[in-house]
Amino acid sequence: MSDPALDVVEFVLTAHLYSENRDLDENDLPPRFRQVFWSDTAGGDAPGGVERPLKATDGVTRTATGVERPWEAVSDLLFTQRTDFSGEITLTQPGMALEWLHDRADDERLASNPTIVAALESAEGLDAPVSHEEARDGTRPIHADRVWIDALLEEYFDEDEDGEMLDLVNVRAPEEIETTLQDLVLTGDQEEEIQKIVKAIEHREYLARIGLREIGKLLFVGPPGTGKTTISRGLAHELGLPFVEVKLSMITSQYLGETAKNVEKTFEVAKRLSPCILFIDEFDSVAKTRRSDEHAALKRAVNTLLKSIDEVSLVRDEVLLIGATNHPDQLDAAAWRRFDEIVNFPKPDRDMRADILRIVTRRMQIADFDPEEVADRTAGLTGSDLRMVLREAVLGALTEDRMTITQTDVMEAVADFEERDNLKNMDMIDGEGAEIVGHTNNDGDGDDHGDHDHDHSDHDHAHDAAPDQADD
Question: What distance, in Å, lies between the first and last C-alpha atoms of the chain?
Answer: 38
> 3-state class of 325 per DSSP?
strand
Q: How many CB atoms lie within 10 A of CB 431?
A: 7
Q: How far is CA 229 from CA 192, 272, 312, in A?
A: 17, 22, 21
For residue range 8-30, list pLDDT tens digits in order: 999 999 999 999 999 999 999 99
Helices (H), 66-220: 70-74, 94-104, 107-111, 114-122, 132-137, 146-156, 159-168, 188-202, 204-209
Taking CA atoms, 22 is separated from 18, 49, 131, 270, 272, in Å, by: 7, 14, 19, 31, 27
- DSSP labels for 67-92? -SSHHHHHTTSTTEEE-TTT-BEEES
DSSP letter string, 269-321: HHHHH-SEEEEEESTHHHHGGGGS---HHHHHHHHHHHHHHHH--HHHH-EEE
205 three-state secondary structure: helix
The 10s digit of each residue's pLDDT in 386-411 is 999 999 999 999 999 999 999 999 99
- Buried b vs exposed e over 13-50: b needs ≥16 C-beta within 10 Å? bbbbbbeeeeebebbbbbbbbbbbbbeeebeeeebbbb
Quote the pLDDT of residue 229.
95
User: 103 vs 165, which has greater pLDDT?
Assistant: 103
Angle at 242 between CA 54 and CA 190, to 5 degrees: 140
| Residues 122-168: tens digit of each pLDDT | 999 999 999 999 999 999 899 899 989 998 898 888 877 787 777 77
Rounded CA-CA distance 191/212 in Å is 22
User: How far apart, in whole angstroms, are the C-alpha atoms of residue 179 and residue 359?
Assistant: 12
DSSP string, 336-372: HTT-SEEEE-PPP-HHHHHHHHHHHTTTS-EET--HH
Q: Work out the average pLDDT over 211-223.
A: 90
Task: List Cβ neighbours of 314 (8 Å cut-off, separation of 6 or more).
Answer: 200, 201, 204, 215, 216, 217, 320, 321
CA pair distance 339, 217, nearest whole angstrom: 5
Q: Is residue 417 very low, low, confident or very high in pLDDT (cuts 50, 70, 90)? A: very high
pLDDT at 288 over 80: no
Provide the β-strand partners of residue 170. Answer: 245
For the four alpha carbons of 180, 181, 183 and 184, in that order, the dihedral sign comes to positive
* Cα Rg, the chain, nearest whole Å: 26
247 φ/ψ angles, rounded to the nearest 5 degrees = -100, 115
pLDDT digits (tens, 9 = 90+) for 227-268: 999 999 999 999 999 999 998 777 665 555 577 788 888 999
User: How far is Cα 304 from Cα 360, in angstroms, rounded to an integer?
Assistant: 41
Q: How is residue 323 annotated by DSSP?
A: E
Is residue 100 within 8 A of residue 13, CB to CB? The reply is no
- Amino acid 296 reads A
- 56 Cβ partners below 8 Å, 6+ apart? 11, 12, 15, 16, 88, 89, 90
The pairing of beta strand 169-172 with beta strand 243-247: antiparallel
- pLDDT attached to residue 394: 96
pTM of this structure: 0.79
Average pLDDT of the chain to the nearest whole number: 85
DSSP code at position 138: T
Q: Kindly state the DSSP code that residue 444 receives in the 8-state scheme.
A: S
Domains and CATH numbers, the chain: 4-139 (no CATH), 144-344 (3.40.50.300), 350-447 (1.10.8.60)
